[in-house]
């Protein structure tokens, strides 16, 4: 017997919020790893290797086959270039700026996606999009201005660079990923990122780790709680609540990072920074909504009558035509 739509939506909301909160631990894990003496290549090579292994196991359990061969190269580019660039910038920035600031800078990516889509895909810029861009810009100025006197400008640039890499990852993935099995496709991306980071760590002599219980616990938590679990829960939640709602709920990520950074790392932020973070999150949520379909209730079959099927199909056809110029960024597996 099918569960009521309200229950399915509640489960989906919980899964996506849980995913966002788990992703919010990444910056905190990064700071803790550096306190334990781990380098960025060490941290990321073991993170991606373990996460890729777990995702391949999950894909096998869920009986998801390999993506078509013609798309494997594209997935390798997403992981080996986009994901490596994003993660490298993000975690290197943690050497210079607080985890909370870094998370807020990353969440300028929806605005970057908007502007790049206008340039690359000739997407129109309406007043709502421009307003979201202005809000995000003002929020970024407030967040950055409060840190310029306490943090190296290099950290700010790396944090914004992380958002730039993620924007390219989204735009490329939004063309490549639709129609692919999500878990196995994400496993391919993770695998290519693991290969690049492991190779770099080996060449630079940073692969070997003096294993201790705290380091093992942190790396396992980093790969499981900060990567594998949130990827899977996001994919499952996306099926229940649809991409627009999932995108909105994902803005819990920077908020959770700020909270965890205060509680665990003892970071403190000024009211100006909190205001800037609110502006960034609000602009991000507004932009992410635009990337969802016009109707995204994946439980519609529980509430719609049979005579609505034709209307929904016609709406889907119209949305597909729109998608030729603007694909759904929230269909890209999160990082």
pLDDT at residue 55 in the model = 95
152 in a structural domain:
yes
C-alpha–C-alpha distance, residues 124 and 32, integer Å: 43
pLDDT at residue 297 in the model = 36
pLDDT at residue 133 in the model = 72
3 in a structural domain:
no
Structure-token match 């439980």, residue found: 299
80 alpha carbon, distance to own chain's centre: 16
User: What is the gyration radius of the CA atoms in the chain, in angstroms?
Assistant: 20
- The pLDDT tens digits for 19-68 are 989 999 999 999 999 999 999 999 999 999 999 999 999 999 999 999 99
Counting the structural domains of the chain, the total is 1
42 in a structural domain:
yes
Q: Is the dihedral of CA 159, 160, 166, 170 positive or negative?
A: positive
pLDDT at residue 302 in the model = 41
Apex 120 CA angle, 116 and 125, nearest 5: 60
SS3 string, 204-269, reads: CCCCCCCCCHHHHHHHHHHHHHHHHHHHHHHHHHHHHHCHHHHHHHCCHHHHHHHHHHHHHHCCCC
pLDDT at residue 147 in the model = 61
Q: Are 276 and 104 in contact (CB under 8 A)?
A: yes
284 in a structural domain:
yes
Q: Please state the φ and ψ torsions of residue 128, each to the nearest 5 degrees.
A: -65, -40
- Per DSSP, the three-state class of 279 is helix
148 in a structural domain:
yes
18 in a structural domain:
yes
C-alpha–C-alpha distance, residues 269 and 266, integer Å: 10
pLDDT at residue 334 in the model = 55
Quick one: tokens of 91? 């975690």
pLDDT at residue 4 in the model = 67
1 in a structural domain:
no
Q: Is the dihedral of CA 204, 209, 215, 218 positive or negative?
A: positive
- The pLDDT tens digits for 186-215 are 999 999 999 999 999 999 999 999 999 999
Task: List the domain range (segments joined by +) for residue 105.
Answer: 8-331
pLDDT at residue 61 in the model = 95
C-alpha–C-alpha distance, residues 94 and 105, integer Å: 12
Provide CB contacts within 8 A for 217, sequence distance 6+: none
Provide CB contacts within 8 A for 278, sequence distance 6+: 139
pLDDT beneath 70: ranges in the chain:
1-5, 144-151, 243-244, 269, 283-335
pLDDT at residue 124 in the model = 74
128 in a structural domain:
yes
């Amino acid at each position: 017997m099918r569960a009521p739509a309200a229950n399915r939506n509640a489960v989906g909301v919980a899964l996506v919020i849980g995913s966002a909160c788990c992703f919010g631990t990444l910056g905190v894990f990064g700071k803790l790893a550096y306190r334990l003496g781990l380098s960025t290549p060490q941290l990321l090579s073991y993170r991606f290797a373990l996460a890729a292994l777990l995702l391949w196991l999950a894909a096998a359990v869920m009986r998801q086959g390999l993506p078509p061969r013609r798309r494997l190269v594209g997935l390798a580019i997403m992981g080996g270039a986009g994901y490596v660039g994003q993660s490298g910038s993000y975690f290197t920035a943690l050497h210079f700026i607080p985890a909370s600031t870094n998370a807020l800078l990353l969440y300028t990516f929806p605005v970057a996606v908007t502007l790049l889509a206008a340039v690359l895909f000739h997407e129109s810029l309406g007043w709502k999009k421009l307003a979201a861009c202005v809000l995000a810009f003002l929020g970024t100025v407030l967040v950055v201005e409060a840190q310029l006197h306490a943090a190296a400008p290099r950290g700010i640039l790396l944090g914004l660079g992380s958002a730039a890499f993620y924007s390219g990852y989204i735009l490329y993935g939004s063309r490549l990923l639709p129609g692919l099995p999500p878990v196995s496709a994400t496993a391919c991306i993770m695998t290519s990122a693991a290969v690049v980071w492991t190779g770099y760590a080996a060449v630079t002599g940073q692969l070997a780790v003096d294993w201790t219980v705290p380091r093992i616990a942190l790396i396992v938590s980093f790969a499981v709680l900060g990567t594998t679990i949130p990827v899977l829960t996001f994919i499952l939640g996306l099926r229940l609540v649809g991409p627009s709602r999932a995108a909105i709920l994902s803005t819990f990520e920077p908020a959770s990072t700020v909270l965890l950074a205060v509680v665990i790392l003892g970071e403190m932020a000024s009211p100006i920074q909190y205001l800037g973070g609110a502006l960034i999150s609000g602009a991000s949520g507004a932009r992410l909504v635009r990337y969802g379909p016009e109707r995204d209730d994946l439980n519609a079959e529980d509430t719609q009558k049979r005579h609505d099927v034709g209307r929904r199909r016609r709406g889907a056809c119209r949305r597909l035509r729109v998608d030729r110029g603007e694909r759904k960024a929230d269909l890209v597996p999160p990082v």
